[in-house]
Amino acid sequence: MFFVFLVQLALGAPPLLYAFIMIASGNVMMALTHYAIGTAPVIFGTGCVTLKKWWSIGFVISIVDIVVMIAVGLV
């Protein structure tokens, strides 16, 4: 991700805005999948949550996360 950040800076992207975009997209990705963060495989591997339920809840959380970021960003 750091290489992508450097490339965007070299192309003239505003550093602070691009950093916030990367942070926000990281949050969405971590909520969405069962393999995106370190603790997720452990939780998923115990069998407490099915794959369909994990992805559907992750989708809802991602939508809520995006709505909150847009609402806060407009303030």
Helix axes 15-32, 51-73, angle to 10 degrees: 150
Distance CA 75, CA 71 (A): 7
pTM above 0.85, yes or no: no
Q: What is the DSSP letter of 34?
A: T
At 60 the three-state DSSP class reads helix
pLDDT of residue 1: 66
pLDDT of residue 65: 84
- Over residues 34-72, the pLDDT tens digits come to 777 777 888 888 888 888 998 898 889 888 888 888 888
Distance CA 69, CA 20 (A): 10
